[in-house]
């Protein structure tokens, strides 16, 4: 390695959890800079050339970049414009915002990090808790009533009970099962599920692995009942999205699906914003066609200041109520702290010429 200090950029650490860890490095060996503000993605269709150049100007000097999973994308063109980059540190065990082929072609190692306090979860326990919280908050009007009390008001609209109601989970993987189990066992909700490849046999196996009976002994009703997409959207009282974003699943939920929902239904997305056609969801909510939406994820993050999600007066003039959180599903202090500890470990491994832990290619 060069005798001059390695230039390290730490991106998108909104809470500053990384700072004491990176600042503890030997300053004669590492020159660390922190950038808490996330610039618009290089490959976003609305990103101007000026903003692209601004991102290049920020990143170009650095030998090592630390990034948080899926906050700043690294497409091929951006990677090609960073001649000094020698190591990329990310979080999680996958990051779909990275062009790993381009990194590999350049010979730039990419290392991930896992949640050692909850092995194998990659933040899924945190996301499950956040999703359940959002369902309850939307059903009980928590955010609106809190604001009313703090601004001189009192009760707003009645809450709705979830007992005996139907949860529709779009996707029944690890997160979908975890949320469905909680809502079923704790709140007595019925569960229906759909995804393009989901079978009843697979859903029954998921119930078994979750420690649940395959069906109700008295009624014979399936614990996780697989239905058509149309039946899920038209019958569920709460629709919760739990799909992995891919080229095939992008835009999987559109206007025709959302317009089938009950007027009293709640739509929840803690997975990825682009799974839903955003314009269609905005239209349905602006027209007040469902009770509420609770969203932790968006097409463009962080949300621009002029985003309709920020500027619309939700819950007024016939519009649906909308609960928004800033992609907090996996943002827990212990998890993030552990991830940055592993980034430091990998940085020091790389400097010593040792094998990286959790190389992504």
pLDDT tens, position by position, 82-114: 999 999 999 988 888 999 999 999 999 999 998
Q: What is the mean pLDDT of the chain?
A: 95
CA distance 77 to 94: 20
Predicted local distance difference test score (pLDDT) of residue 69 = 86
Per-position b or e across 264-300, b if 16+ CB within 10 A of its CB:
ebbbbbbbbbbbbbbebbbebbbebbbbbbbbbbbbb
Q: Which residue is listed with tokens 């552990």?
A: 338
Tell me the average pLDDT across 335-356: 96
Q: Residue 64 pLDDT more than 90?
A: yes
CA atoms within 13 A on the CB side of 126: 19
H or E element: which one contains 297? none
Q: Residue 6 pLDDT more than 60?
A: yes
Cβ contact 358:113 at 8 Å: yes
Q: Residue 242 pLDDT more than 60?
A: yes
H or E element: which one contains 169? strand 166-170
CA distance 295 to 212: 28
Predicted local distance difference test score (pLDDT) of residue 28 = 96
Size of the chain, expressed as the number of residues it contains: 361
CA distance 64 to 343: 11
Tell me the average pLDDT across 324-345: 94
Closest to 128 (Cα-Cα) out of 321, 351, 329: 329
CA distance 214 to 218: 12
Q: Residue 72 pLDDT more than 90?
A: yes
Closest to 179 (Cα-Cα) out of 188, 169, 164: 169
Q: Residue 212 pLDDT more than 60?
A: yes
Predicted local distance difference test score (pLDDT) of residue 37 = 94
* Residues facing residue 239 across a β-bridge: 168, 267
Tell me the average pLDDT across 10-20: 97
- In the numeric block, which tokens belong to residue 114? 């896992």
* Residues facing residue 110 across a β-bridge: 88
Tell me the average pLDDT across 268-279: 98
% of the chain residues with pLDDT over 70:
98
Q: At 203, is the pLDDT very low, low, confident or very high (cuts 50, 70, 90)?
A: very high
Q: At 341, is the pLDDT very low, low, confident or very high (cuts 50, 70, 90)?
A: very high
Predicted local distance difference test score (pLDDT) of residue 152 = 98
């Amino acid at each position: 390695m060069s005798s001059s200090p390695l230039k390290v950029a730490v991106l998108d650490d909104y809470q500053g959890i990384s700072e004491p860890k990176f600042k503890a490095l030997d300053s004669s060996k590492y020159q660390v800079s922190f950038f808490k503000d996330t610039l618009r993605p290089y490959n976003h269709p609305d990103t101007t050339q000026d903003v692209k150049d601004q991102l290049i100007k920020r990143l170009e000097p650095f030998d090592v970049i630390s990034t948080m999973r899926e906050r700043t994308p690294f497409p091929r063109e951006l990677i090609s414009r960073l001649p000094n980059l020698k190591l990329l540190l990310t979080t999680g065990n996958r990051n779909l915002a990275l062009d790993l082929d381009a990194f590999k072609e350049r010979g730039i190692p990419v290392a991930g990090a896992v949640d050692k306090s909850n092995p194998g979860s990659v933040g899924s326990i945190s996301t499950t808790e956040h999703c359940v919280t959002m369902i309850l908050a939307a059903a009980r009007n928590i955010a609106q009533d809190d604001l009313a009390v703090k601004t001189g008001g009192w009760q707003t609209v009645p809450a709705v009970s979830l007992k005996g109601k139907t949860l529709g989970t779009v996707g029944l993987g690890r997160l979908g099962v975890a949320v469905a189990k909680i809502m079923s066992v704790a709140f007595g909700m019925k569960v229906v599920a759909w995804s393009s490849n989901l079978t009843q046999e697979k859903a029954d196996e998921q119930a078994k692995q979750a420690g649940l009976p395959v069906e109700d002994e008295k009624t014979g009703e399936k614990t996780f009942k697989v239905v058509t997409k149309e039946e899920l959207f038209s019958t569920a009282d709460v629709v919760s999205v739990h799909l992995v974003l891919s080229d095939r699943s992008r835009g999987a939920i559109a206007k025709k699906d959302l317009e089938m929902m009950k007027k009293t239904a709640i739509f929840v997305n803690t997975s990825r914003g682009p799974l839903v056609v955003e314009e269609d969801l905005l239209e349905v909510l602006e027209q007040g066609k469902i009770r509420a939406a609770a969203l932790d994820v968006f097409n463009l993050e962080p949300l621009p200041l002029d985003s309709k999600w920020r500027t619309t007066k939700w819950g007024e003039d016939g519009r649906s109520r909308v609960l928004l959180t800033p992609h907090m599903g996996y943002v827990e202090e212990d998890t993030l702290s552990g991830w940055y500890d592993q980034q430091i470990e990998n940085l020091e491994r790389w400097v010593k010429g040792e094998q990286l832990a959790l190389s992504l290619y």
